[in-house]
Structure 1
Amino acid sequence: METSNIEVVLAVLFGSLILALIGVFMFVMVIVYQKRKIKNIREQQRLITQYEQAVLKAKVEMREETLKYVGQELHDNVGQVLSLIKLYLSQPEIQQKAAIRQLIDQAISDIRSLSQDLNINRVEQYSLSDFIEQELNKVHKAGLVKTSFESMGACEPLNMHDRLMISRIFQECINNILKHAEAKHIFVKLFTVDGTCMLSVVDDGVGFETTAAHLGSGLINIYDRVKLIGGDIEIHSGLGAGTEIKLRIPRLTFAEN
């Protein structure tokens, strides 16, 4: 009888120990889960903050780029037209009235065009394809390089911030070409492959070494922005071989046209 009581006591103690261990294990698991949850929340907040900062930086850069372009156009085009009008007005022969009227119309048209360019929200007002075409037209109009653009089955970003980021990435690609490539032609394609949106920017310039040590701040900014929107980027280049930058954007980021 005494032996039976001891066995019962031992069984109770053993069961209590097992329950205690299970309780400790569950408590530790809850603590670990809460820590991981807090860590994930902080990481998500960090990524959101980083994305918002990148969007803000892209807006500032695009505004600066726009003001620079408008200033150049005012100096080169509108300023020249107004100077010609002033010259004609100093010699007011009857036959020059038609020329003056034509120059005034041209100045008005140029100023209207520039006022549209000053609108930083034009990224939201135009499709990605239209924005790219407008940017290339500016480059072509300036006589810097010849440009070619092809859009096939293009997609539009669902998120306006993503559209801004992609637009700024494209501008950065063009700026790098104009600054460093010494190119004569720029070829741009916007298309889809198996539901993935692709943006290809190719130039026939001097090229460069694609190792990390040779990447400038412009290309580093491009890499960072592509990563923030969940995309992927490939850069193919070599000395004397031109450069191709290929951007892939996940399908979920876009809406099919």
Structure 2
Amino acid sequence: MTDYLLSLAADPAAWVALATLIAMEVVLGIDNLIFISILTNKLPEHQRERARRIGIGAAMLLRLGLLGTIAIIVQLTDPVFTAFGHGFSWRDLILIAGGLFLVWKATKEIHHNVDPDPGPDMFDNKGAGQLGFAAAIGQILLLDLVFSVDSIITAVGMTEHIPIMVIAVVVTVAVMLLAATPLANFISANPTIVMLALGFLLMIGMTLIAEGFGAHVPKGYIYAAMAFSALIEGLNMLTRRAGQRKKAAMAQPSDPASG
């Protein structure tokens, strides 16, 4: 085992594969992180940080656990039945189910954001209009499973070395842990960002459904659209802040000495 690890460490191709896989896993982790941020922001403030850590930690445990059953994961891409001329595998079914859940959840969150009196949600804490801690963790774990299966299958397609996959998963989760709270705070402080992020979740959900039905959507197009939307919203935020500063300056009384 030691000789195997040393040979990997001395192989430049292994380092290239590791760097590429980490980059891919971080990009794929953005989807998961947006969902976790939006969901945990609905919890009481003293529970948010803990929920994020549990959710992201569970994502790491799920992915490492799935790596231990990699032979089974690879077989998830084998068709189990055919419908509409397409052979559906377990991976396809998982992606479709996860995509439908994301579309449903994003639609419900948009409804709650635009309706002044949306009423209790099925996951509300005793109908109080507040998400329960256990319900939040349950939803995070559900999406963790979907993203973890997709992540592991992507990793298998890029390298056959388990240690490289393990390192990539650990590094990705560390990045997610560092970025989770700043991203959640930024989303919470900017209401328009919430709607933009929910739009991202809708797009990601539809992409998962399309992938499940065999329609491959290049990830570059998805993330380019997300980056462009984020850029436009960033410009809007700068414009609003400039307008607020201008109004504040005009509202200040003039200095009598200067008159």
TM range (shorter): under 0.3
Q: TM-score, normalised by structure 2?
A: 0.25
Report the structure, 1 or 2, having the larger strand content.
1
Structure number with higher relative contact order (C-alpha < 8 Å, ≥ 6 residues apart):
2
Report the structure, 1 or 2, having the larger helix content.
2
Q: Which has the larger radius of gyration?
A: 1
